[in-house]
Amino acid sequence: GADVSKLLSSTGLVTYDPGFANTASCSSEITYIDGDAGILRYRGYPIDQLAEHSTFLETSYLLIHGELPTTDQLASFENNIRRHTLLHEDLKNFFDGFPSDAHPMPVLSSAVSALSTFYQDSLDPFSQHDVELSTYRLLAKLPTIAAYAYKKSVGQPFLYPDNSLGLVENFLRMTFGFPAEPYEVDPTLAKALDRLFILHADHEQNCSTSTVRLVGSSQANLFASVSAGINALFGPLHGGANQSVLEMLEGIRAAGGDVGEFVTKVKNKEAGVKLMGFGHRVYKNYDPRAAIVKKSADEVLEALGKRDDLLDIAIELEQHALADDYFVERKLYPNVDFYTGLIYRAMGFPTRMFTVLFAIGRLPGWIAQWNEMINDKSTRIGRPRQLYIGAGERDYVEVEKR
């Protein structure tokens, strides 16, 4: 009800832009998105080429260092990460403090926050040595933390990392393996997960990345900044959407599988029902990641022999929505989260781990963006302005007179 134009003129020159839809908070050389054309590039390389030919760690190197690595650079990068996968023994106690039914996302962010206490020798945001070391530690330890969060939630013993394995293989083994039992990593599964991590690796100034930059702009260390990013990712409108999509599909199935009925509910905005996994602040044509994931979902489900009736519901739902004026007019298309859950499910991950997988994938992007922020001479502490619409000055009233 406030007269925004009046407020603006009384505050001096302040732009009012809820959700920062039109406000650039930084300049960046990392990720390019053209939302109308459905283009996504990391450091200039198209996402489909990276998904097809690169690996998650090579893409991580690209995002963080700006160029694709040479063979030696990649080997050294991978080797450094391999050497840091173990968690401090005392950090393991941390997991016992949480209830066994804890959601793994806050467990993840708490454990990452705790890295600042266990690794105090790599906290200086302006020391190249410290930032490099905390980068290796984060990339190496996040999958271990994620696997421990999972093991805790299912009441199974933790497995130490096996550093003869690559990052994704190691993560799968720590998640699904048992101590003293051999675990054969399924290469189809490992490749598919690696590709999903590439697709999630960066997405310019999204909510969690902006959070990482904002926290980092106060010169908080990398662990603290990333922990904040994980919490931002947890929300259902951001990374949490992959969990919500699956719950939505299960809900439709439980209600008899009538996709049309569900779409009508969404259009009528019944009790805030949204078509989860649809819509995007920037993509107004299609999300190029969704196209790759959809193709991958079909292939992976086939390869793992896990045909899923929820995939049929998802496909029907997508077709239904894309033919409906409500979605067409609002330019709502499937985003990356629409099909990823079906792949994660086929891989054996419980629904509550989906957003954790997103976090592992997004980590190199957060690190790259934090680095860019800290090294940018024009960075100032993030401090948005506001339009005050509260009460005018009034006198304090003693409690007995209220």
Using CA atoms, how far apart are residues 168 and 351, in angstroms rounded to an integer? 19
279 near ligand ACO, rule: CB under 6 A = yes
Task: With contacts defined by CB under 6 A, name the span among 120-128, 297-305, 309-317, 332-340 that binds ligand ACO.
Answer: 332-340
β-sheet with 31-34: strand ranges across: 31-34, 39-42, 45-46
Look up 280 and say whether it is catalytic. Answer: yes
CB of 391 to ligand ACO, least distance (A): 29
Residues 6+ apart with CB under 8 A from 281: 19, 21
**With respect to ligand ACO, which residue has the nearer C-beta, 125 or 365?**
365
332 near ligand ACO, rule: CB under 6 A = yes
Assigned token pair, 97: 């403090």
Q: Which of 92, 265, 281, 320 binds ligand ACO (CB under 6 A)?
A: 281
238 near ligand ACO, rule: CB under 6 A = yes
278 near ligand ACO, rule: CB under 6 A = yes
19 near ligand ACO, rule: CB under 6 A = yes
CB of 136 to ligand ACO, least distance (A): 26
Q: Which of 203, 205, 207, 225 is nearest to 215 (CA)?
A: 225
CB of 173 to ligand ACO, least distance (A): 27
**With respect to ligand ACO, which residue has the nearer C-beta, 81 or 293?**
293
Annotated catalytic residue: which of 202, 280, 287, 320? 280
Task: With contacts defined by CB under 6 A, name the span among 57-65, 72-80, 185-193, 331-339 that binds ligand ACO.
Answer: 331-339
Task: With contacts defined by CB under 6 A, name the span among 75-83, 133-141, 255-263, 335-343 that binds ligand ACO.
Answer: 335-343
Q: Which of 196, 241, 248, 342 binds ligand ACO (CB under 6 A)?
A: 241
232 near ligand ACO, rule: CB under 6 A = no
CB of 112 to ligand ACO, least distance (A): 19
CB of 108 to ligand ACO, least distance (A): 17
Q: Nearest residue by C-beta to ligand ACO?
A: 279
283-305 per-residue burial string, b: 16 or more CB within 10 A, e: under 16: beebbbbbbbbbebbeebbeebe
**With respect to ligand ACO, which residue has the nearer C-beta, 82 or 362?**
362
CB of 265 to ligand ACO, least distance (A): 10
Using CA atoms, how far apart are residues 379 and 210, in angstroms rounded to an integer? 13
Q: Which of residues 152-181 bind ligand ACO (CB under 6 A)?
A: none
Using CA atoms, how far apart are residues 212 and 230, in angstroms rounded to an integer? 9
Using CA atoms, how far apart are residues 140 and 357, in angstroms rounded to an integer? 14
Environment class of 335 (CB within 10 Å of its CB; exposed 0-12, middle 13-18, buried 19+)? buried
Residues 6+ apart with CB under 8 A from 345: 246, 308, 310, 351
In three-state secondary structure terms, 278 is strand
Q: Cβ(306)–Cβ(346) under 8 Å?
A: yes
Distances (CA, A) of 225 to 15, 114, 173, 180, 363: 26, 12, 28, 37, 11
Annotated catalytic residue: which of 72, 337, 376, 395? 337
Q: Point out the residues that are catalytic.
A: 280, 337
Q: Given the rule CB under 6 A, which residues bind ligand ACO?
A: 19, 237-239, 241, 266, 274-281, 330, 332, 335-337
